[in-house]
Structure 1
Amino acid sequence: MIALALSVLSSTLIFVVFKLYDVYKVQTLYAIVMNYIVACATGFFLYDGSVEFGQLFNTSWFWGPILMGMLFITIFNLMAKTAQVSGVSVASVATKMSLVIPVIFGIWLYNESLSWIQVVGIALALVAVYLASLKEKHIVINRKDLLLPFLVFLGSGIIDTSIKYFEELHLTDAEVPIFSSMIFGCAALSGLIFIGIQSKKTPVKANFRNVLGGIALGVPNYFSIYFLIIALRSDMLSSAAIFTLNNVAIVMASTLTGILLFKERLTLKNWGGVVLAVLSIVLVALF
């Protein structure tokens, strides 16, 4: 539970850093790529052992971080596009509701069992995520724009499911730091390629704020994944329960942090989401 709490804390710090990007006019895409580089370096620093590419190439999980890294940067761009087209709330809901995918796969692939009280808790968690994530008063999504939030939903769910898959079948405790590091390293490489393609239209300019923003984001970003994997490797709760608790606690902590630090105002629906989030955590964790 300590590892899960630290994962939630790290993810909440990510929310705070993103908020500060608006304040200090940090260019998100460039800071995101820098963040991946820093997160990758953090993992290599924490890895207790020598790093040999040939040795890594022979591991059973080598291709996982490559595919997940490309998916990371793709989903980030899809989230940004969804926020622009349909609103921030739609992007946030699509991302967090994706917890359904790893929950279903946890029950189906790994024969995890849930009590009926936990099932009720997961259902309440989905409602809580939806209500707490609604920031715009009126949300209208055109049918032609449904593809974007669906792809964000699907991609986010695939990332979480992949983390569980490799943790369950391929990783040892000692390999967790280097596995997490490689995910971010591949994401950084994908981001640099994307920026390189973009630079043909928009020249890249060095910006100290972007670098600093990437450093501030990279460390908590690494630990959000690292501690999530550690939590999944514990036997206290099923992966379905852990993914539910992780996502709901992040939404609740981020919402409350927004109120305390950034003076955000919540609607009645948002407060209802926070209350349901607390209730769902109690049901999933204690029963």
Structure 2
Amino acid sequence: MHYLLLAVFCSVAVSVLLKIARKKNILIEQAIAFNYIVALSLAYFLLKPNFNGLGFTDFIVQSEHSPIFFALGILLPTVFIIMSKAVEYAGIVRSDAAQRLSLFLPILAAFLLFGEQLNQSRLIGIILAFSALFCLISKPTQQMEQGRFKGIISLLLVWLGYGVIDILFKQTAKMGAAFSTTLFISFVLAACVMFMYLLFKKTRWTTPSLLGGILLGGLNFMNILFYIKAHQSFSENPTLVFAGMNVGVICLGTITGALLFKEKISKINGLGVCLGISSILCLFYFDKLFG
């Protein structure tokens, strides 16, 4: 359980960093690019990826895991870019809701692809988790800022993208020791995609963005590492990890927002925090006792 809690903490820390980035003159896209350099460096030195005696290029071509690290390498930065567009076209509230409700896809995959059995405690936990999410994302909304069609498409892509990434991380966790190599290559590909995107935009590089990217890279690496470790620890109960991560992040994020940034928590948001905690208890403790 501690891996899941650490993953939630690191994820919220990333959100806090992104929230204060503009005040510190940090350009988010540049920080994300530098973040992948730090993440792949940490993956190389701490996880010591094994290329089975092959060169980097040969391993990419011959590895049976190629589809997974290619998909992650492209999706990780691409979904971030799409998320920024969704915020522009549809607003922060709707974009955040689309990201959190992507939980539906990995939970569906847990039963259809990963063979998890649906019992009473898990069913109750899932219902509580989705109820919590709807309560926690319930905030006043405004009209979509630009282009209704672009807003709808971007939200759909955010929902689909984050859902698929969660499923791919679960697949990565199933690789055992090979996950370190897959994670390293995914970060390399993600860095290439992000830097090519910024060079295409002819971005002007800044020192604060570099420093912010270094901190972001450390937190992001630990977030992904602990998330995969949590999947390995609860290999028979992926729903706990999928729901625990999503609900845990938004519960802790809501509380952090209130304490650090004086964001208001409505009664329905407070109810969502309680339901979220209840869903995790149901998925973990009750499942152990009665599952």
- Are 2:68 and 1:69 aligned? no
Shift of 1:220: 1.2
Give the match for residue 289 of structure 2: none
Q: Which residue of 2 aligns with 1:115?
A: 119
How many equivalent residue pairs?
279
Distance (whole Å) between structure 2 residues aligned to residue 129 and residue 244 of structure 1: 10
- Structure 1 unaligned spans of 5+: none
Q: Which amino acid aligns with 2:35?
A: N
Q: 119-128 vs 209-218, which deviates more?
A: 119-128
1:50 deviates by: 5.8
- CA shift, 1:133, in A, is 2.8
Residue correspondence of structure 1 range 76-91 to structure 2 within 5 A: 76-91=80-95
**Deviations 1:52-92 (Å, cap 9, x if unpaired)?**
41345432113422221211111111111111111111111
Is the Cα contact below 8 Å between 1:83 and 1:91 reproduced in 2? yes
Match of 1:166 in 2: 172
Residues 12 and 250 in structure 1, CA contact (< 8 A), matched pair in contact too: yes
Shift of 1:244: 0.6
**Cα pair 1:180 1:225 within 8 Å, conserved:** no
Percent identical among aligned pairs is 28
Matched residues in 2 for 1:103 and 1:210: separation?
36
What is the CA distance between 1:159 and its match in structure 2?
0.8
* Partner residue in 1 for 2:230: 231
Are residues 1:151 and 2:157 paired? yes
Superposition deviation, residue 134 in structure 1:
3.9
Amino acid at match of 1:153: W
Partner residue of 2:103 out of 94, 99, 102: 99
Q: Which residue of 2 aligns with 1:11?
A: 11
What stretches of structure 2 of length at least 5 have no aligned partner?
Answer: 287-291
- The answer (yes or no) to whether the contact 1:177–1:226 under 8 Å persists in 2 is no
Q: Aligned pair in 2 of structure 1 residues 222, 49: CA closer, same or farther (>3 Å)? A: closer
Q: Secondary structure at the match of 1:122?
A: helix
Deviation at 1:128, TM superposition (A): 1.6
Larger deviation: 140-149 or 40-49?
140-149
1:236: Cα distance to partner? 6.5
TM-score if structure 2 supplies the norm length? 0.89
RMSD: 1.9
Shift in alpha-carbon separation, 1:143–1:115, aligned structure 2, 3 A? farther
2-structure distance, mates of 1:87, 1:172: 39
| Closer, same or farther: CA 60–236 of 1 in aligned 2, 3 Å | closer
